[in-house]
Chain A
Amino acid sequence: MGQPHVDAMEVDSSRNVRDSTTDYMQVDELPAPEQNKPADVFSPEYLRLYYSRLFPYSDMCKWLSYGNDGKHPGCDSSYLNRREFSFTLDHDIYVRYVSFRNASEMESSIRDRCPYKIDIGAVYNVDPAKRTAYASSGSEKVFAPVERELVFDVDMTDYDDIRFCCTGADICLKCWPLMTIAIKVLDTALREDFGFEHILWVYSGRRGVHCWVCDVKARRLTNEQRAAVAEYFRVYKGNENNTKKVSLGGSAMHPSLLRAYVEVLRPFFEDQILSNQGLLQFEERYGKLLDMIQDDGIVAQAQDRWQSSRRSSETDVSVARWKQLKNLLESGKHKGSGLRRCVEEIIFSYTYPRVDFEVSKHMNHLLKAPFCVHPKTGRICVPIDAEECDRFDPTAVPTVADLIEELNKGEASLSNVAQNQKERDISKTSLMKSIELFRTQFLNPLLKSCKADVENSYTEKLHNTQTKLDW
């Protein structure tokens, strides 16, 4: 979108941060309703305790080192150090271009400054903390990002026109299935279509989810290729002034869309979204939906029937009415792929993931780190198991206050005395489950393939130097 646009070579004013953080959209939203926020889910003191006793520094560093922290001669020991982190401190102070050589440096820096938010940026060609030395034009090397996970950000506020249970910063179990859908659709496509394997899903702490695709192939995509992958997921072409919201292509759907439709969108729409959101319950809601049908006759028929019926308080009225509408659209008289396509378009409009494209398109976009604490809700940004995402309940995610309480009264469930203090602390709390998930589902398989990557690139390098020597 428009300027100002922060780009690799231009980022250096720390005030620009707002343009380049993923949360810049928050600027556009109304102040969050504070009344239902318990006063005790978050406090700087809790945060301090969390950072000193629970935050999984070594897991984070193991992840972000991608196998380069080993002893193998193929390891690039500067790798982690070239990663940008950024902190948001109290009073909205941003600090960009923070870097660490290892977990203990990370730990002391975070404990020291106690950031309200930690963002992860790109891996640059040089240590970002020393970037100014390279920024001068006399130097051949220009400070630039070289690697970055492919990331996705899905935020509930982008669904505000189709959810009626809550708005803005609020979410509830009635609208959360929209996120479940997003996870399922994106995860499947990223694996099946793009062939990615190391994908981490994280709860954003309030009203959305983040996705980190960590395969080496994904980390090396150019901005253009990132944009292409993101656009692959764009079906939503509507804006405030155009009711035709999705465009699905010609006489058939692309196989990827069809799979999403059959396996995820349609069942979710018909079994959950319709009745959860009461989409056909009240006139102003079904009016919006009927707007998407180009056949005035059918719209009039449906309106007639529904306006006169008094059943609008029944919970499943939306489901019943959807059946009627589908019959109308698919009935013999109106047969024609145009109208049948309507059913698909409606379902896509009300369910298909709405990705924040700008976040995915640029290598140097910052994204909040997993295991952060959301300062408004106090909830931990825990990983989500994509395979079990139906069962993920954002309202049950522990808050930092919960964890501290568990820590204070709990006992270590691990009997293993070899565990260090931190492991023992973690095991007293419900954070343990999340960390185990992070390790078993994501980190361990990732490190295994990183090891192979490191070895391969090393033999390749050896081979190259040998041929050079021969010559």
Chain B
Amino acid sequence: MDFRVASTRRLSSGGSDAHSRLSFYLTAPTLEVSLEEFEQYALDRLRVLKGLEEALSRGRRSEELEALVIDLWRKYMRTSNGSDLNKDIISHFVLRLVYCRSDELRKWFLSMESSLFRNRFHSEAPDDQKRFLEDNELPYKAISTSDFESIKDKLVQVARSLNQPSPNADSTFYKVPFEEVPELVAGRKVYIHKGQAYVPSTQLTFLVAGQFRSKLSKALVLTYRKWMSVISEEESDRLAPIVEALSSRYLGPDYSQGKIKSEVALQDMDDLAKTSFPLCMRHLFFKLREEHHLKHGGRQQLGLFLKGVGLKLEDALAFWRSEFGQKMGVERFDKEYAYNIRHNYGKEGKRTDYTPFSCNKIILSTPGVGDHHGCPYRHFSEENLRAALGSMHLGVRIVDEILEKVRNRHYQVACSLTFEATHGSQTIGINHPNQYFEQSRKILQPKVPQELANDNTETTTAS
């Protein structure tokens, strides 16, 4: 990384119109930026990425996403002096520094940046897309007509499996190693034969985005190494503090410490679960009570939530032990599970204090066989969700209203409706299970002084 940070002077790198507005961000800028810009640009880009994340977690359709990305971009990334491209590049490289430093952060950054790139690329005019391919020397060649004819059946079948119009002789397909289009492979969105993926030109975006992703993925690891070995030391007075600060700037309330300073007592837990837990946690809690066991995903989701609620480590251990112990004996619990709980409280292993999961993260999780974690609005069948809501004594009409939101994939809105129905009070929206809990306590137990998160206008982080 070769930032030269100056306080006033700026050298502009030739961002003329002859080039595509998009970039693979292959080389770090050598332009000079002021420290203020350094930070401001990064924050602006972060706002774009966070907005995108929220939309993704709401399961927005691709057209909606694209419109949103263009909007966000316009709102935050425009500059008054026409150096949009510089701002794009600088902010990207700054956030690289911020998000290179753990696997979790890298993963988040990679997937948000890739999605951002994909949406931006997709919205470009075909000519601009072509120019981008040429600028970046991407050598994609269409398959011949005879090749097309020989595998036409399969290509038609893939299109039908995606409910897309069948390809015909005019359609263009690119043949690329499957490694280059991981997203298309993962979703079975292409025909793959002997290691080659046949990508229709309508999916060109994925092909390019795949390139983007793999380049960025590698670059992030390199950035991390460089950060560790050189930058953090050389820049210990200037950039490093800013980067540190940026990485903790989550644009949302932090629930890792249990914001309600009053701790909750073990014996109140059942009542609290009934009145103040959001459905996801309520379900996990009572499943645990019922089965005296939860699989890993459930233990994490509930365990960190309880930590955020204010359950102390000793109580947490006692709580989990009393449940698991019934099924497997206390000894086995202490041997195999206690570690994990202490770990979540930062008492073992890397000693990181883990943060409770946000709705985004929970909604994006993929519970499997035997799992009870996830967001009920997202992961339950309609029937089971109806039953779960019924057990909270909600009327048929409100349940129907909630299910309607679910059908439109507004899971958090559905959760907010549930909150309002069970508390007889408005909410500004639910984006974190711990926020749900705190709002609920505020209403049901007004004597506890609360300076509850007023800053809910921005989303909570994915961490």
Contacts and interface: CB of A to CB of B under 8 A. Distances in A.
Given A137-B228, A251-B161, A4 B349 contact: yes
A142 B369 contact: no
Given A5-B103, A18-B336, A249 B300 contact: no
B275 to A, nearest CB: 22
Interface string B193-228: 111100000000000000001100110010011001
Given A239-B367, A252-B161, A4 B186 contact: no
B350 A4 contact: yes
A228 B369 contact: no
B163 A251 contact: yes
Contacts of A256: 188, 192
B31 to A, nearest CB: 26
Contacts of A138: 229
B300 A195 contact: no
Nearest to B196: A195
Given A18-B336, A242-B379, A255 B163 contact: no
B241 to A, nearest CB: 17
A13 B369 contact: no
B425 to A, nearest CB: 28
A238 B186 contact: no
Q: Which of under 10, 10 to 19, 20 to 34, or 35 or more describes the interface residues of A? A: 35 or more
Contacts of B343: 4
B270 interface: no
A282 interface: no
B160 interface: yes
B370 A224 contact: no
Contacts of B328: 30-31
A140 B229 contact: yes
Given A2-B365, A225-B182, A229-B178, 9 more contacts: A18-B336, A28-B295, A28-B296, A239-B368, A239-B369, A239-B371, A241-B376, A241-B380, A252-B160
B384 interface: yes
A403 B54 CA distance: 59
B157 interface: yes
Q: Helix, strand, loop or mixed for chain A's interface? A: loop
Q: Helix, strand, loop or mixed for chain B's interface? A: helix
Contacts of B191: 255
A236 B367 CA distance: 11
Interface in A197-237: 217, 221-222, 224-225, 227-229, 231-232, 236-237
B45 interface: no
Interface string B222-247: 00110011001000000000000000
A-B interface, 8 closest residue pairs, ranked by CB to CB distance from nearest: A195-B195, A2-B300, A228-B182, A252-B160, A231-B186, A250-B163, A7-B103, A195-B194
Contacts of B369: 158, 160-161, 236, 238-240, 354
Contacts of A1: 296-297, 300, 365
Interface residues of B, number: 72
Contact of B161 (A18, A239, A254): A254
A112 interface: no
A236 B296 CA distance: 19
A1 to B, nearest CB: 5
The interface centre, meaning the residue of B186, B193, B196, B297 with most chain A CB atoms within 10 A of its CB, is B186
B35 interface: no
A311 B193 CA distance: 47
Contacts of A417: none
Contacts of B357: 2
B162 interface: yes
The interface centre, meaning the residue of A27, A144, A225 with most chain B CB atoms within 10 A of its CB, is A225
A306 to B, nearest CB: 22
A249 B185 contact: no
A217 B369 CA distance: 31
Interface in A445-466: none
A366 interface: no
A236 to B, nearest CB: 7
Contacts of B332: 31
A166 interface: no
A271 interface: no
B458 interface: no
The interface centre, meaning the residue of A144, A252, A254 with most chain B CB atoms within 10 A of its CB, is A254
B154 interface: yes
Contacts of A242: 379-381, 384
A229 B183 CA distance: 10
A257 interface: yes
